[in-house]
Amino acid sequence: MAQTKRVSLLGATGSIGNSTLSLLKQRCDEMPDFKVVSLTAQKNVEALALAAIETKAEFVAIADDAKYSRLKELLHGSDTEVGAGEAGLNDAAARECDTLVSAITGAAALRPTLEGVKQGANIALANKESIVCAGKLFLEAARKFNSKILPVDSEHNAIFQVLDNEKRVEKLILTASGGPFRTTSLEEMKLATPEQAVAHPNWSMGAKISVDSASMMNKSLELIEAHYLFEMPQEKIDVLIHPQSIIHSLVSYDDGSVLAQLGMPDMCTPISYALSWPTRMPVPGVERLDLGKIGNLSFERPDLKKFKALEIARQALEMGSWGPNVFNAVNEIAVEAFLKKRIGFIDITSTTEKVLNRFASNEFGIMTDPVNFDDVFELDKQARRIAEEQIQA
Ligand code: NAD
Ligand code: MG
């Protein structure tokens, strides 16, 4: 008999959420038997209710309170319990489970993900913003509650798979597709529309991460994520453009070996690894890698003048852990403004840089590192407010 793994999923209606659900629904002898505990979504009650019915979830929560009665109605007659709002999300994450998949977008994932940490569950972490804004504190909490962080972000998942001796690491090399504007001139990039920015060449993802990929903010957030997750100084983390997205990242050791994880660009592979860890499970639905057919893999260094985000992220890290906290919050506000066509594409990066520098110059008081999560949330809120003012100005 296969063991049963109780799994909860935050952000069940998104891109990662859908891939996770497809894995949880497949069944075979070599896999653990998954029991879906709770599912959450922000607004889409129809999709959430359908997922709850299909997976026989114990509990569902909708972040938007106004959708609570509609969700109740849709689940009338089923055994699934229903919650709403921030409390509902936290309840969903706090329900006893073995693995909590964190796939909400943005720092909004932090509070509920911490509920999973506090109950000592394994955290299959797709959401990178929570670790960027709460870095050290997040990992300290994970250690304290004996909660294992299993990276789902494909690059970090790749590193996690091939990292066998931290002490002998010379470099972590994060690969990046380069996004839709890899070969676009800076002048053209200034005119980029949200439609062009979300059209990622290799991956189909939510709007926010797609825009982040286009500006290389995504890789910048990932650099910070790697710094915290693998406790690696930023000088030991490189970014390499690899347009085919086949090598998902590499670890370079001091004996000259470089280990990499390869596969077709399909998030089901890293999600399955996190779900089945410490073993592997078969994923029949993922296209197999045929290097003979692909023929060539290519690489180039990132254009740091065109994609300034990478250097700004490194500066943010040098400022202390408050830096990434501010960096992430401002970017979230700027991406939202760009998607609403309130600012141009290039303004995302320049707004982030300007606001970060205003904080660094002590315009809002002497900056110190957050000592607890309340400090993290407070700084996040303040940075969002300043970012909004900056955009309006
Ligand atoms: P998405 O927009 O497709 O889905 C986001 C999910 O979170 C939805 O279910 C939505 O209802 C929910 N949600 C959004 N905002 C919320 C809020 N404020 N409160 C509660 N619920 C909220 O996004 P996605 O592409 O699935 O990405 C999710 C996370 O995973 C992001 O942090 C992203 O960086 C990370 N990630 C995604 C991919 C990918 O391939 N999509 C790859 C690596 C990492
Ligand atoms: Mg990634």
Q: How far is the CA of 381 from the centre of ligand 2 (A)?
A: 25
- Counting ligands in written order, which one lies closest to the CA of residue 154? 2
Q: In this predicted structure, what is the pLDDT of residue 208?
A: 96
Q: Look up residue 17 and give its amino acid.
A: G
Q: In this predicted structure, what is the pLDDT of residue 372?
A: 98
Q: Are 182 and 243 in contact (CB under 8 A)?
A: yes
Q: In this predicted structure, what is the pLDDT of residue 28?
A: 62
Report which ligand 1 atom has the smallest distance to the Cα of 13. Answer: 9
- Alpha carbon nearest to ligand 1 atom 22, residue: 42
Domains of the chain, earliest start first: 5-151 (3.40.50.720), 156-265+288-294 (no CATH), 316-392 (1.10.1740.10)
Report which ligand 1 atom has the smallest distance to the Cα of 207. Answer: 2
- Counting ligands in written order, which one lies closest to the CA of residue 239? 2
Report which ligand 1 atom has the smallest distance to the Cα of 221. Answer: 34
Q: How far is the CA of 62 from the centre of ligand 1 (A)?
A: 14
pTM above 0.75, yes or no: yes
Q: Please name the residue that has the structure tokens 């050791």.
A: 253
Q: In this predicted structure, what is the pLDDT of residue 202?
A: 84
Q: In this predicted structure, what is the pLDDT of residue 287?
A: 98
Q: How far is the CA of 203 from the centre of ligand 2 (A)?
A: 10
Q: How far is the CA of 1 from the centre of ligand 2 (A)?
A: 35
Q: Are 331 and 217 in contact (CB under 8 A)?
A: yes
Q: How far is the CA of 213 from the centre of ligand 1 (A)?
A: 14
For the chain of 393 residues, list the mean pLDDT of each consecutive stretch of 10.
Answer: 86 97 82 90 98 97 98 97 98 98 98 98 98 97 98 98 96 97 94 94 89 97 98 98 98 98 98 95 95 98 97 98 98 98 97 98 97 98 98 94
Contacts (Cβ under 8 Å, ≥6 apart) of 177: 200, 201, 202, 203, 213, 241, 242, 243, 244, 245
Q: In this predicted structure, what is the pLDDT of residue 1?
A: 45
Q: In this predicted structure, what is the pLDDT of residue 29?
A: 65
Pocket test for ligand 1, best of 8, 16, 102, 160 (most atoms within 8 A of CB): 16
Burial-class residue 291 by CB neighbours within 10 Å (0-12, 13-18, 19+). Answer: exposed
- Counting ligands in written order, which one lies closest to the CA of residue 203? 1
- Alpha carbon nearest to ligand 1 atom 40, residue: 205
Estimate the share of the chain in helix, then strand, then coil, as percent rounded to the nearest 5. 50, 15, 35
Find the residues whose C-beta lies inside 6 A of ligand 1.
11-17, 41-42, 44, 63, 103-105, 108, 126-129, 153, 203, 205-206, 209, 267
